[in-house]
Amino acid sequence: MNNFEWKIKKTASQSRARTGVITTPHGRINTPAFIFCGTKAALKSINVEEARRCGTQIILSNTYHLMLQPGSEVIAAHGGLHKFMNWKGPMLTDSGGFQIFSLGHGTIADEIKGRNSDNNRNISLIKILEEGSLFKSYIDGSNQLLSPEKSINLQRKIGADLILVLDECTPFHVDKIYTANSMKRSHRWSKRSINSFQTNNVFISCTGSAGPQALYGIIQGGIYYELRDESIEFNIGNPNFFGLAIGGSLGSSKEQMYELVKYTSTKLGNKHPVHLLGIGDPLDIWNLVKWGIDTFDCVSPTRLARHGAALMKTKSGKINIKNSAYKDDLLPLDINCNCTICNNYSKSYLHHLFKSAELLGFQLISIHNIHFMNNLMTYIRKAIEDDNFDEAENRWYLN
């Protein structure tokens, strides 16, 4: 029996925007969907029951962090990540490849905002070898080698439904020669990941600690279209991949990112669900759903919340509740939002929590932001089903 299925329900008439369903052993994901980051097997400041009440469908955790703490064996002993963190829905694990990028170069946001020259960061990446990536553990300072085989083995023990091949996410500032060599090495790592994962069921593995798993390939090539073409060709015809993820550098500006994603995603067809790694700003989602992106992931909803930023239906996208303008504001964050926070708390109270350094403030804004993102994705899915995407986008910002 096939435990995984991808089905497209509706495609917009004026774009490649589409709704679909990803079926996994732990439930279905209605797409387009946002994947919330529980990097270390925890959503920052809230529990999974609250996330579920907010409409969350799927959570992502990170292999690199979990292999260091608590260790994949501990998670496997619980019966997998779902039971370890008491999440009953679908899960995805990043292979650890993104840490090659982030620990050595910064974040995707750093790239797009041009913050890739910060020399004050604590660089943990030691060296990228053919065998794998050599890191210095942030837990105890020990050297750790993450190879394709080790990444797959770790992900089997961790037990997420959807898992990724190991790759290197190249930064924007490297040249075409480096990008090409990195891409080819990522392809070799991908083959090794497949060999470590593969069973008689082609893309289905029955050896994960929580049951069957499905594998995603990752498209690299940086900002170079001919390299993107080569990576698309490598990935799209591979029968081992249930899904495809767009990775690597997406450029140094929003405009360049949109063009790269558009170019790449429009060549991927309908056979696979398409995931965009590390992008999740609402404005980006509106722009990129149009080109056939099915799922997004980003740490921003809860990270913004920890800094007092509440997501809003405006072009600016958010307000900072720490601003003194909200000290005496008795209105909720959003009078049109039906989340439990907007129904029960004023901006004045939330402002007070942050000014008083009360941890409850982080939790309440996180709940609002998670609800906001899930509400956004529900709204987008309905707009595609009703085939009025552009009109719905305009209405979103007016409400």
Residues labelled as active-site residues: 94, 297
Cα dihedral 80/155/121/369 (nearest 10):
-50
Could you tell me the CA-to-CA distances from 298 to 157, 218, 280, 284 in Å, in that order? 24, 17, 5, 11
Check residue 79 and give left, alpha or beta (phi > 0: left; psi -120 to 50: alpha). Answer: left
Of 97, 87, 26, the residue nearest 63 (C-alpha): 97
Element (H, E) at 106: none
How far is residue 226's CA from residue 382's CA, in Å, rounded to a whole number?
36
Site of tokens 């995707």: 108
How far is residue 264's CA from residue 187's CA, in Å, rounded to a whole number?
17
Q: Is 202 helix (H, G, I), strand (E, B) or coil?
A: strand
End-to-end CA distance of the chain: 45
Of 105, 62, 80, the residue nearest 24 (C-alpha): 80
How far is residue 247's CA from residue 261's CA, in Å, rounded to a whole number?
10
Q: Determine the residue type at 302.
A: T
Of 3, 5, 52, the residue nearest 25 (C-alpha): 3
Do 190 and 242 form a contact (C-beta atoms < 8 A)? no
Q: Determine the residue type at 39.
A: T
Site of tokens 């719905």: 392
- For residue 340, give both structure tokens: 């439990």
Q: Is 97 helix (H, G, I), strand (E, B) or coil?
A: helix
How far is residue 232's CA from residue 296's CA, in Å, rounded to a whole number?
19
Site of tokens 């650890």: 96
Q: Is 187 helix (H, G, I), strand (E, B) or coil?
A: helix
- For residue 249, give both structure tokens: 């550098």
Could you tell me the CA-to-CA distances from 244 to 235, 240, 264, 269, 272 in Å, in that order? 8, 11, 11, 11, 6
- For residue 233, give both structure tokens: 């060709």
